Amino acid sequence: MEMELFLIRYLHVISGIMWIGLLWYFNFVQIPSMPKIPDEQKPAIGKVIAPEALFWFRWGAFFTVFFGLALAWRSGYLVEALMLEQPNIGFGMWLGLIMAFNVWFVIWPNQKIALGIVEADADAKPAAARKAMLFSRTNTMLSIPMLASMISVQNPIM
Amino acid sequence: MGKILESLPLTIVAGIVLTVIMIIATEAIYDSQMSAPERAVSDMMNNM
């Protein structure tokens, strides 16, 4: 049981670093740098780096939630946390679930349009790129309390 | 909200504000879950 919980927690943390690391890469590095990149070099980001980063980003989100829920279930606090009877971890779980929903059902569908991975009108691309950016920023904002909640389980501040 | 999210520094400030709100809400939920004897012990510990 101890080894099982260790492995699930380890995979949860590794997936989480993949997910939040790429989220912060997009928001702290890629988005602010795009206006400074010459137009002829932009396809290197749009056609090569962004699609690859988005692959690891969305699957990082999926497996963070998957192993996080598995950890809570195997540790016996899944329902109590989701009902906010254990609010320190419960708030973090809900924020993580909202963020993962945003990744899979808002950011990724809109990025597919913005990057030309799926067919769309030329007018739809800027709107999709803006929507993806705003939801990515929303996730950056939510990641700050989410991480505080996650570490408060080991180091209680609340 | 869109104006805040367009700015990375304001997004970070909003995240910190949300963290403070979450900590206050967590304290409030724990307080509401305490029984009377637990609350008495908690108050005594806080006053030590």
Give the minimum alpha-carbon distance from A3 to chain B in angstroms, rounded to a whole number: 30
Binning pLDDT at 50, 70 and 90, where does residue A135 land? Answer: very high
Residues A57-109: tens digit of each pLDDT: 999 999 999 999 999 999 999 999 999 999 999 999 999 999 999 999 999 99
The reply to whether A23 falls in a domain is: yes
Give the minimum alpha-carbon distance from A28 to chain B in angstroms, rounded to a whole number: 8
The closest CB to that of A87, out of B6, B14, B29, belongs to B29
The reply to whether A13 falls in a domain is: yes
On the question of pLDDT at A113 being above 90, the answer is: yes
The reply to whether A145 falls in a domain is: yes
Q: What dihedral angle (degrees, nearest 10) is formed by the CA atoms of B5, B9, A45, A108?
A: -30
- ipTM beyond 0.95? no
Tally of domains in chain A: 1
Among B1, B3, B5, the strongest candidate for a mutation testing the A interface, having the largest count of A CBs within 10 A, is B5
Per-residue H/E/C for chain A: CHHHHHHHHHHHHHHHHHHHHHHHHHHHHHHHHHHHCCHHHHHHHHHHHHHHHHHHHHHHHHHHHHHHHHHHHHHCCHHHHHCCCCHHHHHHHHHHHHHHHHHHHHHHHHHHHHCCCCCCCCCHHHHHHHHHHHHHHHHHHHHHHHHHHHHHCCCCCC
Residue whose structure tokens are 């029984």: B35
The reply to whether A158 falls in a domain is: no
State which residues form the domain around A51: 2-152
Q: Could A91 and B11 be called an inter-chain contact, meaning their C-beta atoms sit closer than 8 Å?
A: no
Among A24, A26, A30, A141, the strongest candidate for a mutation testing the B interface, having the largest count of B CBs within 10 A, is A141
Binning pLDDT at 50, 70 and 90, where does residue A126 land? Answer: very high
Residues B2-47: tens digit of each pLDDT: 889 999 999 999 999 999 999 999 999 988 887 777 777 777 776 7
The reply to whether A39 falls in a domain is: yes
